[in-house]
């Protein structure tokens, strides 16, 4: 939506309030009649004044309609902004800024179905704040690290209870282990479990269950 100025044509007068619309239309009709009468009686000066009056009335209508339409555009834009804010609050987890549990689960199921259908690899990385780490510090650093160091196509979400998930489409376990190693070296204080499609399962539930059993184990144990 934009707030560009627009001219009011006669068929757009319904956009104006009823009383104002009636008064302005009556003035326009009266001015037009005066213009016609003056022209028929030969009074050129009267015709000129009547024409100017009609133009002023129409200009008033145009400016009035512009204000009404601009206000409507602003209301629609605010409504669209509120809708976008509501959508983001529903999709993204407020505490971490990552995808919420329900949404990352939905996206993960869709990606698993796509990978199975087209026989493409996919890796799942499960990260959990390790025992002995400062939970508050890790809750601040880990989401930021995940957002900055993984690809834009990766699906990154927070599952609650200090547990995070990264779904990596078009990725097998070898590059996934590299990403996990960089996380351990760069941040530390986190346990990681890896699983891959199709070797460890073909659904999100299967991949998640396998990765959960590997939390804190050496990354080489991921097949």
Residue 5 lies in a domain: no
Higher pLDDT, 143 or 60: 143
Mean pLDDT across 19-24:
57
CA 134 to CA 33: how far, in whole Å?
Answer: 85
Query: With 50 as the cut, is the pLDDT of residue 198 above it?
Result: yes
Mean pLDDT of 141-149: 95
One domain, residues 210 and 114 = yes
What is the β-pairing status of strands 155-160 and 190-197?
unpaired
Rounded CA separation 223/210 (Å): 11
Q: Is the pLDDT of residue 205 over 90?
A: yes
Pseudo-torsion of CA 82, 92, 179, 204, nearest 10°?
Answer: -130
Please check the confidence at residue 71 and state whether its pLDDT lies above 70. no
- On the question of pLDDT at 63 being above 50, the answer is yes
CA–CA distance, 81 with 78 (Å, rounded to integer): 5
pLDDT of residue 69 exceeding 90: no
Please provide residue 6's backbone torsions phi and psi, each rounded to the nearest 5 degrees.
Answer: -130, 145
For the cut 50, the answer to whether the pLDDT of residue 75 exceeds it is yes
Q: Is residue 96, in this structure, part of any structural domain at all?
A: no
Exposure letters 1-34 (e unless 16+ CB within 10 A, then b): eeeeeeebeeeebeebeeeebeebeebbeebeeb
Q: Is the overall model pTM greater than 0.85, yes or no? A: no
Do 74 and 117 fall within a single domain? no
Judgement on whether residues 84 and 176 belong to the same structural domain of the protein: no
Residue 22 domain flag: yes
Helix axes 173-186, 135-149, angle to 10 degrees: 130
Task: Provide the strand spans (E) within the chain.
Answer: 122-129, 155-160, 163-169, 190-197
**CA atoms of 123 and 194, how far apart (whole Å):** 7
pLDDT at 188: 86
- Tell me, yes or no, whether 16 and 110 share the same domain: no
Alpha-carbon gap, residue 52 to 43, rounded angstroms: 14
Percent of the chain with pLDDT over 90: 53
Residue appearing with tokens 């044509």: 9
Name the residue among 211, 190, 189, 192 with its Cα closest to residue 201. 211
3-state secondary structure of 182: helix
Q: Residue 85: which pLDDT band, with cuts at 50, 70 and 90?
A: very low
* Structural domains counted in the chain: 2
Kindly state whether residues 192 and 85 are assigned to the same domain: no
Do 196 and 157 belong to one domain?
yes
Which of 33, 66, 91 is a domain's end point?
Answer: 91
Range of the domain at 64: 10-91
The rounded distance, in Å, linking the Cα atoms of 188 and 55 is 75
pLDDT-based confidence at 86, cuts 50/70/90?
Answer: very low
pLDDT at 219: 86
Calculate what percentage of the chain has a pLDDT beyond 70: 59
The predicted structure's pLDDT at residue 95 = 85
Cβ partners under 8 Å of residue 66, min gap 6: 5, 6, 7, 8
């Amino acid at each position: 939506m934009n707030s560009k100025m627009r001219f009011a044509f006669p068929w757009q007068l319904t956009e104006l309030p009823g009383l104002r619309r009636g008064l302005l239309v009556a003035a326009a009709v009266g001015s037009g009649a005066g213009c016609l009468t003056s022209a028929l009686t030969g009074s050129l000066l009267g015709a000129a004044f009547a024409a100017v009056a009609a133009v002023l009335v129409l200009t008033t209508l145009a400016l009035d309609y512009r204000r009404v339409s601009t206000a409507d555009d602003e209301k629609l834009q605010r409504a669209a902004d509120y809708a976008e804010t509501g959508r983001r609050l529903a999709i993204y987890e407020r505490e971490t800024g990552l995808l919420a549990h329900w949404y990352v689960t939905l996206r993960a199921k869709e990606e698993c179905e796509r990978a199975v259908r087209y026989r493409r690899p996919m890796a799942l990385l499960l990260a959990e704040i390790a025992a002995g780490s400062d939970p508050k510090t890790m809750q601040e650093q880990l989401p930021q690290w995940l957002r900055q160091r993984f690809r834009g196509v990766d699906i990154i979400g927070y599952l609650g209870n200090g547990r995070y998930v990264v779904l990596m489409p078009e990725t097998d376990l070898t590059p996934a282990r590299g990403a996990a190693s960089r996380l351990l070296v760069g941040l530390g204080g986190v346990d990681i479990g890896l699983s891959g499609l199709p070797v460890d399962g073909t659904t999100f539930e299967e991949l998640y269950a396998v990765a959960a059993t590997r939390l804190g184990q050496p990354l080489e144990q991921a097949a």
